[in-house]
Amino acid sequence: MLALRAPVDPARPLPQQEAAPAAPRPTFAEVYESSFAFVWRNARRLGAPEATVDDVVQDVFVIVHRILGEFEGRSSLNVWLFGITRNVVREHRRTLQSRHPHALRAEEPVDHDQLVDSAPGPHENAVQAEAARLVDRLLESLDDEKREVFILAELEKRPAPEIGIALGIPLNTVYSRLRLARQAFAAAAARHRARTEGASR
């Protein structure tokens, strides 16, 4: 015999599947330890002068400590941090420009990736340092809007939707700026090669 089901009580809510527990929000100490190098190198890439980069990074993490509870996970943590870093760098540059108009002139580039965890040999270090100096010079040829998109897409390998969230711009704008940034970066690289080849003749 088939077992009869009990009639459904319309007043009783249907059982619902329990939602998966949300991933715990990282602590400030965890964020600082895992993302310090990311913030430091991108503060430099975004144009923070070497003399002020430590102050920029400190200010970024002061803000992170204050608003970490607002992080909703709509993008990766590092992309969220990039947005904060971008705003802090812009504010530092405005302040520096108003007080010391000549301070933002091109300075000797440094290796943005010097805070990596691996320990390559001397030759690899030299190659990486030279490549980083070249990237630094080429990034300086881009305006802020193109540079920000280029860094996230090409150097940090973040997807376009996350870039839009980080920068607060529509997805179509991300693609448009990235296309222009790639063109400008390639043109700057071509000019650099032409100068290098001309100097070597």
Report residue 198's pLDDT band, with 50, 70 and 90 as the boundaries. Answer: confident
39, 73, 105 - which closes a domain: 105
At residue 200, the pLDDT reads 63
| 10 pLDDT more than 70 | no
In angstroms, the CA 32 to CA 61 distance is 7
Would 114 be classed as within a structural domain? no
* Model confidence pLDDT, tens digit, residues 115-153: 444 445 555 655 566 666 778 888 988 999 999 999 999
Say which range, 53-57, 96-100, 149-153, has the weakest mean pLDDT. Answer: 96-100
Q: Does residue 78 share a domain with residue 147? A: no
Q: Does residue 99 share a domain with residue 39? A: yes
In angstroms, the CA 200 to CA 30 distance is 49
Domain that holds residue 96: 25-105
Would 166 be classed as within a structural domain? yes
* Number of domain units in the chain: 2
Rg (CA), the chain: 23
At residue 72, the pLDDT reads 85
In angstroms, the CA 47 to CA 106 distance is 10
Q: Does residue 132 share a domain with residue 98? A: no
Q: Where are the beta strands (DSSP E) in 18-136?
A: none
Q: Does residue 76 share a domain with residue 41? A: yes
In angstroms, the CA 88 to CA 46 distance is 10
Token pair of 153 as six digits: 């897409």
3-state secondary structure of 51: helix
- Which pTM was predicted? 0.71
Nearest to 89 by CA among 135, 151, 39: 39
| 8 pLDDT more than 60 | no
